[in-house]
Amino acid sequence: AQSVSQHNHHVILSEAASLELGCNYSYGGTVNLFWYVQYPGQHLQLLLKYFSGDPLVKGIKGFEAEFIKSKFSFNLRKPSVQWSDTAEYFCATPIFGNEKLTFGTGTRLTIIP
Amino acid sequence: NAGVTQTPKFQVLKTGQSMTLQCAQDMNHEYMSWYRQDPGMGLRLIHYSVGAGITDQGEVPNGYNVSRSTTEDFPLRLLSAAPSQTSVYFCASSYTTGGADGYTFGSGTRLTVV
């Protein structure tokens, strides 16, 4: 992929609600996709990644993402969120022959106890 | 295992001053990069390096210089600080280009230019 876009800028959910954050990519050959999370005041951490194979990818802390080629999407999901999931979430993809990693603008997730 | 270490954590500069943001990793990663994070704009790549002695520009390189004399260190230099460079700066490293194994990020440097 050559770029990713995230259209949800701020999502507010109550605890135990289900989560889906959108990420769309522009096709440019081999598609490698990532989701990163940034907890308040901390650095980015890798949640999960897709390179090939099973389009349903499972990551840490109960998160998963599904690669849907027909929709150019790689949405992040979690069946039941917790207050500790409050963070900013970034979708990312390598570009230009895998030399650079480009990020979406991020989605801020706020979980209300 | 320290991972990626960035110093300083906070810095206030006056317009026109210069400074160097330090980044060091102890994982023998070939690939290192600098990003700046601004509200609503995500992370934007400033400069990157695919190995010692090799650097290249990212999306927003103007006003910044880098060098990579060793595998471990990748300092970012602000030549003449401007208020537009107020941001949070993250250094990241990876064993492979494109971060196939995931990027390891430093804890960031919050820079304010007044």
Residue pLDDT, tens place only, B45-100:
999 999 999 999 999 999 999 999 999 999 999 999 999 999 999 999 988 766 66
- Asked if A103 lies within 8 A of B97 by C-beta distance, the reply is no
Residue B75 near chain A (CB below 8 Å): no
Closest residue by Cα to residue B85 from B24, B7, B15: B15
* Cβ distance of B103 and A94 shorter than 8 Å: no
Cα B102 from chain centroid (whole Å): 17
Please indicate if any CB of chain B lies within 8 Å of the CB of A32. yes
**Contact flag A104-B42 (C-beta cutoff 8 Å):** yes
Provide the residue-wise pLDDT of chain A in tens; the chain has 113 residues.
678 999 899 999 999 999 999 999 997 677 889 999 999 989 899 999 998 889 999 999 999 999 999 999 999 999 999 999 999 999 999 876 666 788 999 999 999 99
